[in-house]
Amino acid sequence: MKTAINGGSKKFTTSKIYNSISMQRVIPAILEQSVSDIQEKLDRVAAFVELIQLDIADGLFVPEEVMNDPGVLDLIQTTAAIDLHLMIELPEVVIEKWLHPVVRRISIHIEASEDSNASIEKIKEADKEVFLAINPETPIKKLEPYAEIIDGVLIMGVHPGYGGQEFIPSTLEKVKDARILLPERTIAVDGGVKEGIAIKLFEAGADQVAMGTGLFSATNLEKYIKKINSFKDK
């Protein structure tokens, strides 16, 4: 039986959860403005996954501020580990505030700093997975200096900061390029992903897809997650 994780009162142990995260193909993505709405979505999917993405925005890197308070991590309860997608300027300035026990993975945007090394080092020192997120207009070659020190890449299929956008088709080619550059790293895609797009992304070389609107609109979440997972396993 899983135990709810509340970083403010419990020590977060990793061995059981982290070993299975690499096998998870669908990462539920939550972009909400209130703790209650976040909790509602966590409760809906936590029984079916080991990792859930929580979107954070500072209102600078993207126009709208979304849950830009590390204190939210003390307020939520979940049986899953948290994957933080930080859409914030200069993450190296604030990254230590987000290194919460409930967090397993942190994605920072390569466009948010001139040099991402400082943030990467701090995340690694905290024993978290570190991903570099990359916007639609940014070429994959920008990842080259970090190829050996990151755990993976989060390729944006939309412009970050808003849910419900249409998937940008050229993302498929970026996934192919990323697979060549990062043959042994996890490639995840976030934004505009629906069932048919997920199939194409897996065929292009993606390992994981973050799904928000396309997932939470499903009638049966468990069945839908299993269906998407099966595409990658074929």
Indicate the range of 17-21, 91-95, 109-113, 187-191 predicted with least confidence. Answer: 17-21
For the four alpha carbons of 118, 123, 124 and 130, in that order, the dihedral sign comes to negative
Is the CB of residue 116 less than 8 Å from the CB of residue 108? yes
Give all strands (DSSP E) within the chain, no chain letters: 26-30, 51-58, 65-66, 81-87, 103-109, 129-134, 152-156, 186-190, 208-211
Q: Any catalytic annotation for residue 37?
A: no
CA pseudo-torsion sign 154, 158, 162, 164: negative
pTM of the model: 0.90
The catalytic position among 37, 55, 58, 115 is 55
Q: So where are the chain's domains?
A: 15-233
- pLDDT band of 17, cuts 50, 70, 90: very low
Set 58, 83, 151, 190: catalytic member: 190
Can 74 be counted among the known catalytic residues? no
Q: What's the DSSP call for residue 162?
A: -
pLDDT, tens digit, 9 for 90 and up, residues 97-148: 999 999 999 999 999 999 999 999 999 999 999 999 999 999 999 999 999 9
HSE of 68, CA atoms in CB hemisphere, 13 A: 16
Q: Which CATH superfamily is domain 15-233 in?
A: Aldolase class I (3.20.20.70)
pLDDT of 182-219, one tens digit each? 999 999 999 999 999 999 999 999 999 999 988 999 99
Given this model, what pLDDT does residue 225 score?
94
